[in-house]
């Protein structure tokens, strides 16, 4: 209860508190100001009364001083009995030498004069004690001084009295203000209470058709009008909301059916998409396989071309040897064989056999190399290989493709560096990179150069491949490993070369690949893969 | 003085037996000292009286007809044959002023001298009468004089005979007495503060 009063939760309490507070502060300020002025005036009047009495008495004391009549002076001083604040008074005469002599004093005779009374020609206050010296003049000459000592105890009494009056007045006024505020707050707050009750009713019953009485002509009538307007708006809004809710409810019912139909359609579309995706994967796989076969086909074509020459020479040499042998046989049968002929035959036969053997050996070497590369490319075998030799074998197998452009290919690799990896994948990576440079990179470039550097870094192999070709833009570089991305669409580019390289590096070699390039500054691949799988 | 003479006679009788010239010398010294004391006392009284007269002038207002202007001198007149000592003391105040007026002292031996020369002396604003001369004035003369002159004496008799104020010595002190009846017929006004101090004659 107590806390409720101090919290001032109700408007009524706030109104009463405001009135009491304002009244209290106003009264306090007014009373304090009035009291200060009254006390100051009272003090000034006391001082003025003392001063005027002193002035009159000084005037009347002049004859007593000049005629040296101390009895008269004493009698005059006794008039201070009418001023209770005067506690002591003494009168002094000035002799011919200017020295002061005590003539009379009040209320008792002083044994010794008060010292330095001239200091009080300007009145002094020492607490409630007031000291004053007034000159006694006659015909323009100062003939003596009247010294007055007063105690303004009445001032304290007056202050106390003023305080009592102020307190009583304030209490009465506050009580009056409380009574008035209690009386008027019920009148003032009646419309507000009615409004509050109505608001509560609207809140409880949700009945927005109720209206407040706005017949009065004060601020509350404006509030009531505004409130009624607000109720109208709420009522309208409520009606609209109900209509909308009905519509939504109806729509919801239809929506479920629609959603079901859509879900079925979506499921079908999804199945179709999954089928398409499978088809795509299959197509991609087929394309990759086709690419591999194409690569293998190229390899076979290269092998055929390379092997064709030594075999052809061998065949030519063998057929020439056969022709010589036929001539020799004919001459032997006809007994026309001469020593000279036999010598000629033997010389040519030896040369033909030598040529044949040499070219067959050459063909055998080529086939051996191609066989290894072809085997590697058609299988996923992991084997130990000497990388420098293996790269040269790959380059040898690519000679037919390289012949057309004839770039300078520099391979820098440590001699005898052995690695254990998927050799076919490595061969296919290098083949694809070189073919990629030949197809896309060297158009309009002179002195085509490809640098291949293989390093061993702890347990990893770093293969750096770069050419001095036309390079790629940044946008194209970002798509370089995406499948079917090609800058030669319709010109033989499948868009799977670099994608195949990426897959082989990451899946067959378990490594990483990155490409960097700037337009006109060539293309660079960096491949890192473990030394042994 | 009588008492003193008695004591001295006893001493002289004792001394006569011892040394006659010594007695003669003592008598001479005593006579000289008594006369010296009398002179000193008379002069002191005159000095006090002169001061009183001067100070009284500061509390008195004369009719405008009695003084030509406020710048005129204030004439203090002494009436009496033995006025020499008082004249001498009053003359000392001629260097001072009373209510802005210079002070002039005049002395007259007799009533006739006063009446005949008063006009030449510029009128007397204060007339101080020594003993013996006042009894010769008639009531008409006194009534005429007190119109513009403050008549001051030094005895009760002076007041009884129409004097306005008297400075009567009591022991070593001078008391101021005022005769209200005499003041009533005069245009001279005494300030109330002086009247409060002065005693009224005849005393109630």
Instruction: State whether B145 and B81 are in the same domain.
Output: yes
Name all domains of chain A by residue range, CATH numbers in brackets.
2-176 (3.30.450.20), 379-533 (3.30.565.10)
Banded model confidence at residue B153, pLDDT cuts 50, 70, 90:
very high
Banded model confidence at residue B191, pLDDT cuts 50, 70, 90:
very high
Banded model confidence at residue B64, pLDDT cuts 50, 70, 90:
confident
Quote the pTM value.
0.48
CA of B194 to nearest chain A CA: how many angstroms apart?
A: 6
* pLDDT attached to residue A452: 94
Structure-block tokens of residue A124: 């002094």
Instruction: State whether B166 and B192 are in the same domain.
Output: yes
Question: What is the separation of C-alpha A135 from the centre of its chain, rounded to a whole number of angstroms?
Answer: 87
Distance of alpha carbon B64 from alpha carbon B147, whole angstroms: 11
Instruction: State whether B174 and B189 are in the same domain.
Output: yes
Write the CA distances from B161 to B165, B189, B200, integer angstroms. Answer: 11, 20, 15
Instruction: State whether B25 and B94 are in the same domain.
Output: no
Instruction: State whether B176 and B110 are in the same domain.
Output: yes
* pLDDT attached to residue B203: 58
Cis peptide before B87 (omega within 30 of 0): no
* pLDDT attached to residue B4: 36
**How many domains does chain B fold into?**
2
pLDDT by residue for chain A (533 residues), tens only, comes to 444 445 667 777 888 888 888 888 998 898 889 888 998 898 888 888 888 888 999 999 999 999 988 888 999 999 888 888 889 999 999 988 888 999 999 988 887 888 889 899 988 888 778 899 999 999 888 999 999 998 878 888 888 988 898 899 889 988 998 888 888 877 877 887 888 888 888 888 888 888 888 777 777 788 888 888 888 999 899 889 999 999 999 888 888 888 899 999 999 999 999 999 999 888 877 776 776 677 667 667 767 777 888 888 889 988 988 888 898 899 889 988 888 888 988 888 888 888 888 888 888 877 776 676 666 666 677 889 899 988 888 888 788 778 778 899 999 998 889 999 988 888 889 988 998 898 888 888 888 999 999 999 888 999 999 999 999 888 888 888 887 777 776 665 667 788 889 988 998 899 999 999 988 889 999 999 998 87
Q: Nearest chain B Cα to A140, which residue?
A: B99
Query: Is A139's CB within 8 Å of B193's CB?
Result: no
B-chain CB neighbours of A63 within 8 Å are 55, 59, 191, 193-194, 196-197
Instruction: State whether B102 and B149 are in the same domain.
Output: yes
* pLDDT attached to residue A217: 75
Question: Which candidate, A392, A443, A428, A196, places its Cα nearest to that of A292?
Answer: A428
Task: Report whether A528 contacts A460 (CB < 8 A).
Answer: yes
Query: Is B58's CB within 8 Å of A138's CB?
Result: yes
Banded model confidence at residue B122, pLDDT cuts 50, 70, 90:
low
In CATH, what number is assigned to the domain containing residue B164? 3.40.50.2300
Task: Report whether A493 contacts A487 (CB < 8 A).
Answer: yes
Residue of B58, B59, B178, B197 best to disrupt the A interface, most CBs of A under 10 A? B197
Distance of alpha carbon B108 from alpha carbon B125, whole angstroms: 14
Distance of alpha carbon A420 from alpha carbon A507, whole angstroms: 15
B-chain CB neighbours of A68 within 8 Å are 173
Task: Report whether B110 contacts B141 (CB < 8 A).
Answer: no
Distance of alpha carbon B156 from alpha carbon B179, whole angstroms: 10
Instruction: State whether B85 and B185 are in the same domain.
Output: yes
Instruction: State whether B174 and B79 are in the same domain.
Output: yes
Q: Which of residues 25-84 of A touch B (CB under 8 A)?
A: 59-60, 62-64, 66-69, 72
Instruction: State whether B113 and B134 are in the same domain.
Output: yes
* pLDDT attached to residue A2: 47
Q: Got the DSSP string for A449-471?
A: EEEEEEEEETTEEEEEEEE-S--
Task: Report whether A395 contacts A411 (CB < 8 A).
Answer: yes
Instruction: State whether B155 and B192 are in the same domain.
Output: yes
Query: Is B197's CB within 8 Å of A63's CB?
Result: yes
Instruction: State whether B86 and B127 are in the same domain.
Output: yes
A-chain CB neighbours of B174 within 8 Å are 67
Instruction: State whether B119 and B30 are in the same domain.
Output: no
* pLDDT attached to residue B178: 94
CA of B13 to nearest chain A CA: how many angstroms apart?
A: 46
Say how many C-beta atoms besides its own lie within 10 A of residue A491's C-beta: 9
Q: Nearest chain B Cα to A71, which residue?
A: B197
Question: Which candidate, A322, A310, A293, places its Cα nearest to that of A357?
Answer: A310
Query: Is A69's CB within 8 Å of B98's CB?
Result: no
* pLDDT attached to residue B176: 93
Q: Got the DSSP string for chain B?
A: -HHHHHHHHHHHHHHHTT-HHHHHHHHHHHHHHHHHHHHHHHHHHHHHHHHHHHHHGGGEE--GGGSS-TTSPEEEEEESTT-HHHHHHHHGGGGSEETTEEEEEEEESSHHHHHHHTTTTT--SEEEEPTTTGGG--HHHHHHHTTTSEEEESSHHHHHTT-SEEEEEETTEEEEEE-HHHHHT-S-EE-HHHHHHSEESS--
Q: For B9-51, write each residue's pLDDT tens digit.
A: 444 444 455 456 666 666 656 665 555 555 567 788 889 999 9
Question: Which candidate, A484, A461, A485, places its Cα nearest to that of A475?
Answer: A485
Query: Is B196's CB within 8 Å of A139's CB?
Result: no
Query: Is A72's CB within 8 Å of B194's CB?
Result: no
Range of the domain at B9: 2-43
């Amino acid at each position: 209860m107590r806390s409720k009063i101090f919290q001032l939760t109700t408007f009524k309490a706030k109104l009463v508190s405001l009135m009491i507070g304002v009244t209290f502060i106003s009264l306090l300020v007014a009373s304090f100001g009035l009291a200060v002025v009254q006390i100051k005036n009272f003090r000034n009047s006391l001082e003025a009364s003392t001063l005027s009495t002193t002035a009159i008495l000084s005037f009347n004391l002049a004859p007593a001083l000049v005629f040296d009549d101390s009895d008269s002076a004493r009698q005059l001083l006794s008039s201070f009995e009418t001023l209770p604040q005067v506690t002591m008074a003494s009168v002094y005469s000035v002799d011919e030498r200017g020295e002061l002599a005590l003539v009379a004093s009040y209320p008792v005779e002083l044994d010794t004069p008060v010292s330095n009374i001239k200091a009080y020609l300007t009145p002094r206050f020492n607490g409630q004690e007031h000291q004053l010296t007034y000159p006694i003049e006659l015909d323009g000459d100062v003939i003596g001084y009247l010294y007055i000592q007063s105690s303004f105890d009445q001032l304290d009494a007056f202050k106390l009295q003023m305080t009592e009056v102020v307190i009583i007045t304030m209490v009465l006024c506050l009580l009056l203000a409380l009574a008035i505020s209690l009386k008027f707050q019920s009148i003032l707050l009646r419309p507000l209470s009615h409004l509050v009750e109505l608001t509560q009713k609207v809140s409880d019953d949700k009945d927005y058709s109720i209206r407040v009485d706005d017949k009065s002509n004060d601020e509350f009538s404006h509030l009531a009008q505004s409130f009624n307007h607000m109720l109208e708006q709420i009522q309208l809004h409520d009606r609209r909301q109900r209509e909308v809710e009905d519509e939504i409810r109806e729509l919801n019912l239809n929506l479920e059916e629609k959603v079901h139909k859509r879900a079925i359609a979506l499921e079908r579309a999804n199945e179709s998409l999954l089928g398409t995706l499978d088809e795509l994967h299959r197509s991609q796989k087929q394309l990759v396989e086709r690419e591999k076969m194409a690569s293998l086909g190229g390899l076979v074509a290269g092998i055929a071309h390379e092997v064709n020459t030594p075999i052809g020479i061998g065949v030519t040499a063998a057929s020439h040897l056969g022709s010589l042998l036929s001539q020799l046989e004919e001459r032997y049968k006809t007994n026309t064989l001469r020593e000279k002929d036999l010598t000629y035959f033997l010389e040519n036969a030896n040369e033909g056999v030598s040529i044949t053997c040499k070219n067959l050996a050459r063909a055998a070497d080529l086939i051996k190399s191609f066989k290894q590369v072809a085997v590697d490319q058609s299988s996923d075998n992991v084997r130990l290989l000497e990388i420098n030799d293996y790269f040269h074998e790959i380059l040898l197998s690519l000679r037919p493709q390289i012949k057309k452009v004839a770039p300078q290919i520099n391979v820098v690799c440590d001699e005898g560096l052995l690695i254990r990896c998927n050799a076919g994948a490595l061969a296919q990576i290098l083949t694809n990179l070189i073919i990629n440079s030949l197809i896309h990179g060297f158009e309009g470039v002179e002195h085509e150069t490809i640098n291949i550097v293989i390093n061993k870094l702890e347990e990893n192999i770093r293969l750096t491949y770069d050419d001095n070709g036309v390079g790629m833009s940044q946008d194209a570089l970002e798509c370089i490993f995406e499948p079917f991305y090609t800058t030669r669409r319709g010109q033989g580019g499948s868009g799977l070369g670099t994608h195949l390289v990426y897959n082989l590096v990451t899946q067959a070699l378990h490594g990483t690949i990155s490409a960097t390039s700037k337009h006109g500054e060539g293309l660079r691949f960096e491949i890192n893969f473990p030394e042994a799988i | 003085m009588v008492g003193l003479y008695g004591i001295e006679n006893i001493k002289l009788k004792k001394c006569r037996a011892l040394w006659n010239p010594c007695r003669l010398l003592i008598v001479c010294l005593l006579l000289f000292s008594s006369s010296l004391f009398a002179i000193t006392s008379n002069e002191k009284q005159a000095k006090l009286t002169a001061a009183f007269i001067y100070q009284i002038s500061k509390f008195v207002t004369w009719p405008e007809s009695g003084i030509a202007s406020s710048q005129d001198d204030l004439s203090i007149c002494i009436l009496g044959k033995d006025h020499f000592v008082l004249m001498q003391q009053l003359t000392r105040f001629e260097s001072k002023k009373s209510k802005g007026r210079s002070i002039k002292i005049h002395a007259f031996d007799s009533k006739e001298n006063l009446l005949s020369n008063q006009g030449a002396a510029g009128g007397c604003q204060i007339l101080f009468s020594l003993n013996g001369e006042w009894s010769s004035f008639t009531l008409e003369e006194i009534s005429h004089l007190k119109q513009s002159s403050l008549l001051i004496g030094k005895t009760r008799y002076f007041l009884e005979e129409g004097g306005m104020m008297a400075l009567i010595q009591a022991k070593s002190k001078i008391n101021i007495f005022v005769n209200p009846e005499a003041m009533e017929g005069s245009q001279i006004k005494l300030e109330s503060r002086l009247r409060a101090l002065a005693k009224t004659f005849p005393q109630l």
